[in-house]
Structure 1
Amino acid sequence: MRFDMFSDPGPAKSKSHGAISMLGRTIAAAAILVLASCGPEAPSAPAPAEPELSSDYQVTLKPTLTDAGEVDAIEVRAVLDSELAPGEDRLQLMVPIAYVMVTGIAERTLDLKVTDRQGEIPLSFEDGEPVPGGFPYFRTFTAERGVSFPVEISYRSLVQPPNTPGGPAFGIRPSKGGVSGSGAGFMLYPSNTMAETSVLDWDLSAFGSDDPVGVTTYGAGRVEVDRSPGQLVQAWLMAGPAGRYPKAADDSRFHGYWLGDFPYEVEAELEFTEHMYQFLGEFFTHLDPAPRYTVFLRQLDTPPYGGATALYNSFMLSRGPAREEEFGQPGPRQTFVHEMLHQWVGFIAEDHGNATWFNEGLTTYYEYTLPFRAQEISYDEFVAGLNELSERYYANPGREMSAQAIVEVGFNDGDIRHVPYVRGAFYFADLDARIREASQGERSLDDLMERVFRERQSEALTLTIESWAAEANKETGEDELARVRGINIDGSFFFPSKNAFGSCVIGEEATATKENESYETMVWQPVPDVDPETCFSGSDLD
């Protein structure tokens, strides 16, 4: 299951739940019951010395273990040394109530205590209105008096229980003696201060002498980040006796970490992913050098298992126990490529419904074409992948749904939610064919995207539907805005050009059947007597 790049839509409208001095009494009572059921913490080494504060916001994460050696919570200690944003008179702290189908986060945030030099700071809280489709909404704590900085914040966040609603792997889950998830799935953060730099550190003393790792998207161990506290939480994390790639410390810009048992050789799959990382760094020239990148893999014994989702400079793949037929097979390499591609494709500046055709559609187009161009998959595998793409679009019950209607479905139907991915992929493949035809083979989608990515990166271009259409019009001379809106926003059914995937493959309209239902599709076949290596001629890498 794939969930892909996630952009937080931000907090929703709030409703008051009254003033309290800490978390509600019912939450405190629940904490007593839960903690009473856990055994004492495992024997631990002395805690590391407290590092000197060198940023506006410093947070230390300390996983705790049960007698059985399973992580049950992460204790958080933070120091905020900043000032309130202009116009603000009371410190506010936010924690998700739900975060992309991970529910109950605020209720699992226990023993919250906020203090300054005057002592404990009383807090009230407001809960945001639930957001349709499983998207995030938040609990906001507000100080009931003025505060003096620095402010100390401490709390304990319990792991996400098993058998809760399924969704991306944002929740913190125990696995093989360690823990993993995302900061957004458990961390509280100050939301109305001027804090712009953060430090994240670990206390791994609960793991004893097992050579544990404490790593996030931003790096291993203590990391200093030029990001606000709210941005700091948008990161994957893993702690405990995790596997590492490469095994020895080096200056590589690509790293991988994993917890759990996988049916494939993790090192071999990460080696493939590193090869694709290097290829993407050469293919896309707008990020030079290629950004440091980290892959997180976790295997869980109980649902929800998660899926694959990309965040800044990293992605997490979360899965359940291995199935017998998976042993001896390669890992989900196509998924690895897709998630990593998000780093280069990035975003278009539109709301979620109006952006997915670009953010995910262009990524999906490259997912199905670049491994072939990198010579990591065979010609036959390339053609088979295109026919899989056709089935994902044309056999999809949501193939003619509008972007807005798909947003309203949200995470409740995975097939429909992925329509913009595959529909967008065909749009970009068709655009490539139209650019080649208009330029008599002198230019391609590669040329357009190189220019657009560079201008976006330099902030010379704010990429919206309208500005995208204007840039594409320069290549095709057509009304690209009408085409984008018709296909990707309104959901008009269409077939791409029969030459949409290069000179070595041709598409033919056909009728197919799936589950006793017939549907119109496009079948892709090799072109006889055409050298596959010339399929995408015009790129320096082909």
Structure 2
Amino acid sequence: MSRPTLRVTLTPCLAGNEASGVRVTYILGGLRLAAGQALCRLPEVLFGVEAAKVASDGIRATDDLGVIPLTHTMDDPTPSFTYRRWTVQRDTRGDVTVDYVAPVRIVDATTANGPLFDLRAEGAGISGAGISFLALPELEATFDTEVRWDLKELPSEARGVSSHGEGTVRRTTTLESVTYTFFMAGVLHSHPPEPHPTFGMFWLSPPTFDAALIGRQSQILYEEMCRFFREPAPGFRVFVRKHPYRGLGGSLLPGSRGYMFGWSDSETHTIEELTRLLAHETVHNWPLLDGWEDPSRVSWYNEGVAEYYSLFLPHRAGLISDEAFLDSLNQRARGYYGNPLQTLTSAEAAELYWKDWRAQRVPYGRGLFHLIDMDHRIRQATHGKRSLDDVVLALLERERAGQKATLDDWLELMGEELGDAARTAHEAMMSGQWIFPDLECLRPQFQAGEVKIHQLDVGFDYTSFKAGIVSGIVDGGPAAKAGVREGDTIVHAPPPERINAGRLTDISLTLRRGSDLVDVTYEPLGKQVKGMVWQKGALS
């Protein structure tokens, strides 16, 4: 029996010299939909970010009988998605053709930084993840797919690229995999300059950093990770887009074979800082636990594994020095022990995830130090014969065998290594108990020691940064002592993600109070707590 087919054409649209959206046209072949069955779905919101605002009557579908009447409905919201659906009102006959325009999301300097899935314009170019603008059927079947570009409205030198390749891409895959793909089109810069079969980095606007250098380093790191994770079919692409607002970050989707990275010219970042971020996102190409329906249960692993291997693999391969490794590890330690929200349960932190940047950092630090602890315990229990690597790679092999790797699978494998202690440690971590790995956990190269670390305390409600108005000022706190007042308008502040223990030693704010502008600078330091740092040799 032949597989159903999907043939997609993406046509970027211009309004003057600016991209305004993408016309999406696709043909479904080899399947029949019954009256009342959903033809396609598209998120209205995904992980707090707006998807393409396709009008409820903006999708047109036809088949051998002509126009297919559609009904638009909205699903109940979930923590991750709010889906819209278009349902056919009669049985379909023959190939089904779907056509609509997905408009770009309008962003400006006031837009909050978030996952980089939305469809955006950057001059005459566009970029985004398919999940934000491709309205496809929700079917689990495997399709023969083709995605091609029609760049007739763009300059002659324009290129169209996806995370699965440049130009027209044909794959046998699921429709979900098509939506979990990143796209970029326009007059692109790239590393390597010419199409490469297994790696590429692409950008539209010249960044403030050496993108070609970052591209070369990312390619070397990707190739090293392919060796470690035993990648059977290398292929990876990085898409770099410019934010009109302050903020740095990257976003990846399961199986996307690439990620989107965003930067702003209002900030300066070192090559080392950018390389660490891109290394983290690259690891996401491999070990992931399934659990999109409730990310709070698995985000500690998905982010923790990315933190762990983006730190340890470059060091093992000799790509970073001992000093650079220690600097990164200790910065993460200060961020973990200095985050007062780390004592929340994982579920409580997830509720604040899009409201408070400190909550977003909870799974990163919690996951990293839990995995460092688990690695040491496995090595101790097996006299050095096994390690965390064995468990992570075993989960990855399950995925490659067509199974979903779940939290239960992780706990089962860890139970085989450590017995009941594995589940006890997991439950303690999820409940927000502090993690203090053994001081000898990274011996013989590095020795840990206990230190006092100041927790982050800006002295007012952290959501004030997003609202732009100071609220919840703490009497006697660092902000109040510096002269910050309740109700001050925040004119300028560092991005919240940089106001993190170990990254900024002080915080400078420009505030509007009535008709006056007030500048204040102070140390955002709260109470001291026990933490850990590492160094080479014995800790003095």
Alignment TM class, shorter chain as reference: 0.7 to 0.9
Name the amino acid aligned to 2:43.
P
Please state if 1:317 is matched with 2:268.
no
The 5-angstrom pairing of residues 34-433 of structure 1 reads: 56-67=5-16, 69-84=17-32, 90-103=37-50, 105-107=52-54, 111-132=58-79, 135-163=80-108, 164-191=111-138, 196-209=143-156, 211-250=157-196, 252-285=197-230, 287-289=231-233, 291-300=234-243, 302-303=244-245, 307-311=249-253, 312-323=256-267, 325-326=268-269, 329=271, 332-348=274-290, 351-433=294-376
Aligned to 1:479: 421
Cα-to-partner distance string for 1:350-404 (whole Å, 9 max, x where unaligned):
8422111211112211122222222222211211111111122111121111121
Secondary structure in 1 aligned to 2:384?
Answer: coil
Name the amino acid aligned to 2:276.
Q
Higher relative contact order (CA 8 A, sep 6+): 1
More deviation, 491-500/516-525: 516-525
**Percent of aligned positions with the same letter in both sequences?**
24
Aligned to 1:30: none
Please state if 1:436 is matched with 2:379.
yes
More deviation, 219-228/341-350: 341-350
Contact 2:307 2:364 in 1 (8 A): yes
Name the amino acid aligned to 2:532.
V
Please state if 1:527 is matched with 2:536.
yes
Contact 2:396 2:405 in 1 (8 A): no
CA distance in 2, matches of 1:483, 1:162: 43
Name the amino acid aligned to 1:355.
V
Q: CA deviation at 1:243?
A: 0.8
**Number of paired residues?**
464
CA distance in 1, matches of 2:161, 2:52: 22
Q: CA deviation at 1:305?
A: 6.1
Q: Supply the RMSD in Å over aligned alpha carbons.
A: 2.6
For structure 1, the residue ranges without an aligned partner over 5 or more in a row are: 1-53, 531-542
Please state if 1:506 is matched with 2:447.
yes
Contact 1:115 1:151 in 2 (8 A): yes
Contact 1:169 1:305 in 2 (8 A): no
Cα-to-partner distance string for 1:182-217 (whole Å, 9 max, x where unaligned):
1111121123585623211110011132x2111111
Q: CA deviation at 1:294?
A: 0.8
Contact 2:139 2:175 in 1 (8 A): no
Name the amino acid aligned to 1:208.
P
Secondary structure in 2 aligned to 1:498?
Answer: coil
Contact 1:357 1:424 in 2 (8 A): yes
Aligned to 2:409: 467
More deviation, 270-279/165-174: 165-174
Name the amino acid aligned to 1:172.
L
Aligned to 1:29: none
Secondary structure in 2 aligned to 1:495?
Answer: coil
Structure 1 pair 458/114, CA: closer, same or farther in 2 (3 Å)? Answer: closer
CA distance in 2, matches of 1:247, 1:331: 24
Provide the TM-score with structure 1 as the length reference: 0.79
Structure 1 pair 214/524, CA: closer, same or farther in 2 (3 Å)? Answer: same
Secondary structure in 2 aligned to 1:280?
Answer: helix
Cα-to-partner distance string for 1:37-88 (whole Å, 9 max, x where unaligned):
xxxxxxxxxxxxxxxxx96111111111122x21111111111113247x87
Q: CA deviation at 1:463?
A: 3.8
CA distance in 2, matches of 1:254, 1:173: 23
CA distance in 1, matches of 2:537, 2:370: 25
For structure 2, the residue ranges without an aligned partner over 5 or more in a row are: 456-523
Q: CA deviation at 1:478?
A: 5.2
Contact 1:269 1:330 in 2 (8 A): no
Provide the TM-score with structure 2 as the length reference: 0.79
